[in-house]
């Protein structure tokens, strides 16, 4: 079964910015709550994986990536093992390689903090 794809640029915004909804409509909190969590829930229910594509935006702040991906773990919407099994963070262009590394680090840092 193919992955469900969530393109931040195409499905959310080419200008992601800010941590919380108070920071604007392109915030990480809005992305996580209104796009990432529902799409990941669909992937889990259908027995597939969610591929989040980082390509195509005009840049990422560390606060956006941390809140989106670290915040996913802190939201406790999913068990850590479900996130690890069901979520892929992808960057096809080398321009977004550092954003991919950062997003994966924020995710793994929070996953390690969850009590066993």
pLDDT value for 97: 97
Q: Reduce the DSSP state of residue 6 to 3 states and report it.
A: strand
Residue 116, pLDDT > 70, answer no
Per-residue pLDDT tens over the stretch 1-35: 579 999 999 999 999 999 999 999 999 999 999 99
How many separate domains does the chain show? Answer: 1
Per-residue pLDDT tens over the stretch 48-89: 999 999 999 999 999 999 999 999 999 999 999 999 999 999
Model confidence at 115, pLDDT cuts 50, 70, 90, reads confident
pLDDT value for 1: 59
């Amino acid at each position: 079964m193919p992955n469900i794809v969530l393109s931040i640029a195409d499905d959310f915004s080419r200008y992601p910015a800010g941590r919380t909804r108070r920071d604007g409509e392109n915030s990480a909190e809005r992305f996580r709550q209104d796009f990432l969590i529902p799409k990941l829930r669909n992937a889990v229910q259908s027995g597939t994986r969610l591929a989040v594509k980082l390509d195509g935006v005009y840049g990422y702040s560390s606060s956006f990536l941390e809140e989106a991906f670290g915040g996913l773990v802190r939201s406790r919407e999913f068990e850590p093992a479900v996130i690890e099994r069901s979520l892929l963070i992808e960057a096809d262009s080398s321009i977004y390689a550092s954003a991919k590394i950062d997003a994966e680090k924020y995710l793994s840092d929070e996953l390690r903090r969850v009590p066993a």
